[in-house]
Structure formats: C-alpha cells, structure tokens
Amino acid sequence: MYSRTQNENGSYDTRCLDCFLTIARSVENESELDELEARHICPEKALSWLAAQPCPAKPAART
C-alpha cells in the first residue's frame, strides 16, 4: 500500500506504508508513480513473508 502526496508544484511524492520508505519524490505523472511503486521491493513485506514460512504445519492465519 502506498501513500501519495501532491506537492505545491503539482508533482507527487509516494511512500510505502509498509516500510515507510519514500519511493519517489517530485514525480510528474501518475503512470510513472504506478511504475515506481510496482518496482519497489518492500523489505517489510519480504520479512513478514519469511516470518510466515518456518511453521508450514500451522494453518496460516490470514487477515
């Protein structure tokens, strides 16, 4: 999930809400934002994925 904020000059900043990393600043158009967000490899998501792996016998509790 990402948080986009618009700057005074009309460009956008986008931030990942999982790891709170700013993915991009001063991006001019939204299609570029989509691309940059898609390219973000989130360390938080990777960690939670790894944390979910050690107990395959347990049924995964998905929220």
Nearer to Zn ion, 33 or 42 (CB): 42
Question: Is 23 among the residues that bind Zn ion (CB under 5 A)?
Answer: no
Q: Which window, 6-14, 16-24, 27-35, 50-58, contacts Zn ion (CB under 5 A)?
A: 16-24
Q: Binding to Zn ion by residue 36, rule CB under 5 A?
A: no
Min separation Cβ 41 and Zn ion, Å: 8
- Identify whether the C-beta of residue 27 lies closer than 8 Å to the C-beta of residue 12: yes
Q: How far is it, in rounded angstroms, from Cα 19 to Cα 5?
A: 17
Closest-CA residue to 23 (of 31, 12, 14): 14
